[in-house]
Structure formats: structure tokens, C-alpha cells
């Protein structure tokens, strides 16, 4: 490895690991006579993995719309007395990780606004917009957002524009039909005026959004697992480019854009819960299949055990063990109270590193040749520390298998990755995947390393390649790049050096 690469890897060591972080989970329920606040609570609890910074619920009963939200986990924000005080027939809820806008309380969702005609609206959003600056400028020109406001999220911009469009002559539904075609990027929305439940999904269908049926109502949610937990049965996905409204008259649906599927492949790999289905394909089955494909293409002859990095590495490790015939074992214990969002230790505690989350079972791994299966590698710090920890616990060999290709590009559609220069897959600029893999293997200290290919990963989803977004792996951004974003500009320059087609900025 040359001096420049060694220096770059040294710089990576100076940062805490930044795992892929989802932006949000959304939920909505219309069910007169039911405890919609509690249904929303349990729905958000099922979606907690999609964001752990903040959560909120808005409940409406025709006469008024009440929003309760705060920073923290769903279980920390709501208790029995709070939920009992939220009465109504319709509710929307949100659990959040911030990517656009800051971590201030003002950006916690649902967003609340009042139209010029006095209609209250609460809105929840999952995704990221690529024409955020254009919409923000529009909102400022309309006078609904002050130019002096320092932290304005894309959700706040959408919420204010939606509310501002509602008048005595223009309904919430019609205001949404006017606004949604102008929104570019990835978005799944649930919103309510206290009487009707609305939901919408961007024309590319980047993030999942599903519709479910209750005995006395309807539910929309980011994932099917949330339908299961509230006792709703799956009806269908909200179609890309579709706006729906649900009230006592039933379901109304309108198209605001043509469907061009570009679902996020990383939902299958990491983001979604394994007990969810996306486009008719089980997330768990996809991950198990990826593990099988890894075993076929990257065998580990002579290995004693296959162990997952819990929890997201579990299904792929099961698939690897089944295909290879190597014994599956739980060699790492996860602290369930840390969660998927990494809590950065202070500098004094930095040496604890990954032990905040994982601890090896020495009696299981001592003296064994291990195949360690994980979902992805971003900066590499977690894997480097994990391998060191396993060797200290007595592992004879550590062979790493990754259930996704090398992450080389940032996501601008709702996942918070590191910048291009901080991704370990970019340390060696070679176009040869074997050279890149060997560079990463040496950096993390594994005895061998294998990544599933983009082709094998896509095949495991059982979706057409053309209908999936794989931008974080191959740099092809189907929705374009956002203007005014430093990471987007860095990605654009990198695309130029590699002679790849440049997406048009929004």
C-alpha cells in the first residue's frame, strides 16, 4: 500500500464510525371509535429502527388537531397518560433521524401549520428532496417562511407550502395535487387535517409505503411490520406518484406523476426490518439469499463457524451457513439498549469503541476459524475494531463476508452516509474490484474479505435492476443530485473523474 493510501486510512481512524442512518418512519391511521393514538404509538414502535432521535403523534377529532412530539425514543416520549389524553378518529405519527435540517426541536415531526382559511394540518415525511432550495426560496417569496429562519428542514418547507395552498375554494387534497408534482426527490408523506388521512409517495417509489386494513379503519405505514403490530392486514403498496385520502366516504386516489420505479436496494440490505415485505419480496428471504450467494462466490474452506454481526447480519449469516455447510453460531452479544444509531463516546472513552455495542463469547470463538457476516462496510472503523476484538478473544482466523457491495457514493434520498472521501471503498481509486477489496481487507485486518456483487444483490431482491436505485454502490443517481449540497458537489466531481454520466442538478 502506498504512502498516500496509508495516510488516508489513518485519517479514517480519527473519526467515529458513521453507520448508514435511515431518515424516518411514517405512520397514519383513520379508525373512528378506535384508540388511534395508541395504534400510532405501536406502529411507531415497530418503525423505531428507522430513526431514534425524535418522535411525534398528531391526533384529530374533526374539531381540533393536537400534536405531541419530543426528542428521544418512542417509549421515552409517550406514556399511558399522554396517549389517553389524545382523542380522535385520525392520527399521523413519525419517528425521526435528521438528515435535512438540524436536530432542533423545531424540526421534530409531525410538522404543524394553519392555512389562510384556518385549516390545521399536521404532516410527516420520510425521505430527502433534491430541489429543497428551490422550494425553500418559493416559500420565502410567498412569505410563509422567514429568510431569517436559520434551520428550515425540507419537511417544514413542504408543510408550509401545503398549508398555504389551502383556501376556502381549495381543499387540502387539491392543494396537495398542486404541490406534489413540484417536489423532486424521495418522499413518503402522511398528513391530516384532523378529519381525513392523506398519504403520498414520490413517483420513483424510493422509500416503501404501504396501505393496510383494520376491522374499523385504514392504516398507512413505512413498512408492513407496522401493519402486523397493529393488527392490520396488508392491502397494497401506495403506488409511486399516488396521493390517497381516507375518510368516512372511503378511499380516494389520484395520480400526480407517472410511476418510474427506483426503489432503494439498501432497504432490502439493511434499512427495513427483516419481517417486512417490499414489492412482494420478503426482506428476510432476500438477506438469506444474499448470504447463500456470498457462500457460493466467496467460500471459506476450513472455517469452523459462521457468526453474524447482530442484528442486521443475522439473515445473511444464516444463508451463508446453510449454503456452505459450516456451523452457524452466535459469537457476539449485542447490547440491545444502544440501538442502531451509534452513540459517540467521549474522547476519554473512545477506546471502548465497539464494545459499547458488541462483546464476544470467548468460549464460542476461541481457537476457531470464523466467517463473520455483516451487512455493509462504510468507513471500516467498526469492522477494524471488531476483528481486533475477536482476535483478542482467541479467534484463530477471521474471514469477513459483506452482504452488500462496497459503499462508494453518498445517498441523497434519505440515508445519511459519510462523504465520498470518508468512505473506505474510495481509499483506493482503482476500477478493479479485486484491488479495492484487497485494500479494504488489509485496512480492516481480515484474513479474507468478500462482498456480494451488485448483480447478485439485485438478483436476491427478485426486482428488475432498472427498477432499483443502487446509487450508493455505482454512482448512478436516478433522481439527480441536489443543488447547494457539499457532498453532492464532491460526488459530482468524482463522477467527472470517472467519466460517468452526470445527473442534472435540481
What pLDDT digit, counting tens, does each position of 244-263 carry? 999 999 999 999 999 999 99
Residue of 428, 433, 414 lying closest to 472 (CA atoms): 414
Q: Is residue 290 within 8 Å of residue 355, measured between CB atoms?
A: no
How far is residue 108's CA from residue 342's CA, in Å, rounded to a whole number?
20
The DSSP annotation for 429-475 comes to --S-HHHHHHHHHHHHT-SEEEE--HHHHHHHHTS-GGGEE-HHHH-
Instruction: Express as a percent the part of the chain with pLDDT over 90.
Output: 72
Determine the Cα–Cα distance for residues 270 and 412; give it in Å rounded to an integer: 17
Output the CA–CA distances (angstroms, integers) from residue 115 to 179, 200, 330, in the order listed.
14, 19, 55
CA–CA gap between residue 135 and residue 182 (Å, rounded): 8
* Residue that wins the pLDDT comparison between 410 and 151: 410
Binding residues for [4Fe-4S] cluster: 264, 411, 469, 472
- CA separation for the pair 57, 74 (Å, rounded): 10
Radius of gyration over every alpha carbon of the chain, rounded to an integer in angstroms = 23
> 490 pLDDT band (50/70/90 cuts)?
confident
Is 92 a residue whose pLDDT tops 70? yes
Domains of the chain by start residue, with CATH: 21-260 (3.60.20.10), 285-335+350-475 (3.40.50.2020)
Contacts of 27 (CB under 8 A, 6+ apart): 40, 43, 44, 47, 92, 93, 94, 124, 190, 219, 220, 221, 222, 226
114-153 burial code (b ≥16 CB/10 A, e <16): ebeeebbbbbbbbbbbbbbbbbbebbbeeebbeeeeeebb
| Alpha helices (runs of H) in 91-193, residue ranges in sequence order | 132-141, 154-164, 172-179
DSSP element (H, E) containing 250: strand 250-255
CA distance 55 to 48: 9
Which cell goes with 137?
426560496
In DSSP terms, 218 is beta-bridged to 30, 213
Residue with cell 378506535: 34
pLDDT over threshold 60, residue 351: no
Helices 154-164 and 172-179: angle between axes, nearest 10 degrees: 130
Count of CA atoms in the C-beta half-sphere (13 A) of 6: 3
Cell triple for 292 = 447463500
Element (H, E) at 127: strand 120-129
Q: What is the 3-state secondary structure (H, E, C) of 191-236?
A: EECCCCEEEEECCCCCCCCEEEEECCEEEEECCHHHHHHCCCEEEE
> What is the distance of C-alpha 246 from the center of its chain?
26
**What pLDDT, on a 0 to 100 scale, did the predictor assign at position 170?**
97
Diameter over CA atoms, the chain? 75
Residues found in the chain: 506
Task: Provide the grid cell at 68.
Answer: 405531541
- Which residues define the annotated binding site? 264, 312, 374-375, 411, 469, 472
Q: What pLDDT sits at residue 342?
A: 39
How far CA 341 is from CA of 20, 48, 52, 72, 454, in Å, comes to 9, 11, 7, 12, 26
Residue among 273, 269, 271, 275 nearest 287 (CA):
269
Higher pLDDT, 506 or 275: 275
What residues form DSSP beta bridges with 21? 416
**Predicted pLDDT of residue 503:** 63
CA atoms 282, 285, 291, 295: torsion sign? negative
Q: Exposure of 347 by Cβ count < 10 A (0-12 exposed, 13-18 middle, 19+ buried)?
A: exposed
Tell me how far apart the terminal alpha carbons of the chain are, to the nearest angstrom. Answer: 39
Three cell numbers at 416? Answer: 445519511
Confidence of residue 87 (pLDDT cuts 50, 70, 90): very high
pLDDT tens per residue, range 298-324: 999 999 999 999 988 999 999 999 999
User: Cα–Cα distances in Å, from 40 out to 43, 124, 337, 449?
Assistant: 5, 13, 22, 42
Q: Comparing 429 with 260, which gets the higher pLDDT?
A: 260
Neighbours of 502 (CB within 10 A): 15
Q: Tell how strand 242-247 and strand 415-416 pair up.
A: unpaired
Which pLDDT score is estimated for 341? Answer: 40
pLDDT, tens digit (0-9, with 9 covering 90-100), for 354-394: 777 889 999 999 999 999 999 999 888 889 999 999 999 99
Check residue 418 and report its DSSP letter.
P
Provide DSSP, 150-168. S---HHHHHHHHHHHT--S
The better pLDDT of the pair 340, 206 is held by: 206
Judge whether 203 and 40 are in contact, CB under 8 Å: no
What pLDDT does residue 143 have?
85
Active-site residue list: 24
**Confidence check: pLDDT of 331 > 50:** yes
Amino acid at each position: 500500500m502506498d504512502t498516500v493510501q496509508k495516510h488516508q486510512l489513518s485519517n479514517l481512524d480519527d473519526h467515529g464510525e458513521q453507520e448508514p442512518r435511515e431518515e424516518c418512519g411514517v405512520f397514519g391511521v383513520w379508525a373512528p371509535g378506535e384508540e388511534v393514538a395508541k395504534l400510532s404509538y405501536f406502529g411507531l414502535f415497530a418503525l423505531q429502527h428507522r430513526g431514534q432521535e425524535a418522535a411525534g403523534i398528531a391526533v384529530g377529532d374533526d374539531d381540533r388537531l393536537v400534536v405531541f412530539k419530543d426528542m428521544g425514543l418512542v417509549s421515552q416520549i409517550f406514556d399511558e397518560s399522554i396517549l389517553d389524553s389524545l382523542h380522535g378518529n385520525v392520527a399521523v405519527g413519525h419517528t425521526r433521524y435528521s438528515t435535512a435540517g438540524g436536530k432542533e426541536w423545531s424540526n421534530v415531526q409531525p410538522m404543524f401549520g394553519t392555512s389562510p382559511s384556518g385549516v390545521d394540518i399536521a404532516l410527516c415525511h420520510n425521505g430527502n428532496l433534491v430541489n429543497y432550495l428551490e422550494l425553500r426560496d418559493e416559500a420565502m417569496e410567498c412569505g410563509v417562511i422567514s429568510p431569517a429562519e436559520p434551520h428550515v428542514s425540507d419537511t417544514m418547507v413542504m408543510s408550509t407550502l401545503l398549508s398555504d395552498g389551502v383556501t376556502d375554494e381549495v381543499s387540502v387534497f387539491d392543494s396537495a395535487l398542486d404541490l406534489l408534482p413540484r417536489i423532486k426527490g424521495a418522499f413518503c408523506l402522511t398528513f391530516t387535517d384532523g378529519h381525513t388521512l392523506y398519504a403520498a409517495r414520490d413517483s420513483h417509489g424510493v422509500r416503501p409505503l404501504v396501505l393496510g386494513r383494520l376491522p374499523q379503519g385504514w392504516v398507512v405505514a413505512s413498512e408492513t411490520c407496522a401493519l402486523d403490530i397493529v393488527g392490520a392486514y396488508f392491502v397494497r403498496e401506495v403506488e409511486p406518484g399516488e396521493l390517497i385520502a381516507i375518510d368516512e366516504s372511503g378511499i380516494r386516489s389520484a395520480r400526480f406523476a407517472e410511476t418510474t420505479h427506483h426503489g432503494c436496494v439498501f432497504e432490502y440490505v439493511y434499512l427495513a426490518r427483516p419481517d417486512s415485505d417490499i414489492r412482494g419480496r420478503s426482506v428476510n428471504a432476500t438477506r438469506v439469499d444474499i448470504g447463500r450467494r456470498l457462500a457460493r462466490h466467496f467460500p471459506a474452506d476450513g472455517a469452523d463457524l459462521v457468526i453474524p454481526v447482530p442484528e442486521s447480519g443475522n439473515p445473511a449469516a444464516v444463508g451463508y451457513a446453510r449454503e456452505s455447510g459450516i456451523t452457524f453460531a452466535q459469537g457476539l452479544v449485542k447490547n440491545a439498549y444502544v440501538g442502531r444509531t451509534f452513540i459517540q463516546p467521549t474522547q476519554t472513552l473512545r477506546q471502548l469503541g465497539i464494545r459499547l455495542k458488541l462483546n464476544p463469547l470467548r468460549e464460542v470463538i476461541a481457537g476457531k476459524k470464523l466467517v463473520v457476516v455483516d451487512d455493509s462496510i462504510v468507513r471500516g472503523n467498526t469492522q477494524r475494531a471488531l476483528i481486533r476484538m475477536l482476535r483478542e478473544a482467541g479467534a484463530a482466523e477471521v474471514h469477513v463476508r459483506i452482504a452488500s457491495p462496497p459503499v462508494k457514493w453518498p445517498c441523497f434520498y434519505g440515508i445519511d452516509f459519510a462523504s465520498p472521501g470518508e468512505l473506505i471503498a474510495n481509499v483506493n481509486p482503482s476500477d478493479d474490484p479485486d484491488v479495492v477489496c484487497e485494500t479494504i481487507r488489509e485496512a480492516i485486518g481480515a484474513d479474507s474479505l468478500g462482498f456480494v456483487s451488485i448483480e447478485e444483490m439485485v438478483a436476491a431482491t427478485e426486482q428488475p435492476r432498472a427498477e432499483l436505485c443502487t446509487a450508493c454502490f455505482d454512482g448512478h443517481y436516478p433522481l439527480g443530485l441536489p443543488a447547494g449540497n457539499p457532498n453532492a458537489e464532491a460526488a459530482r466531481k468524482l463522477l467527472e473523474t470517472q467519466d460517468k454520466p452526470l445527473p442534472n442538478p435540481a
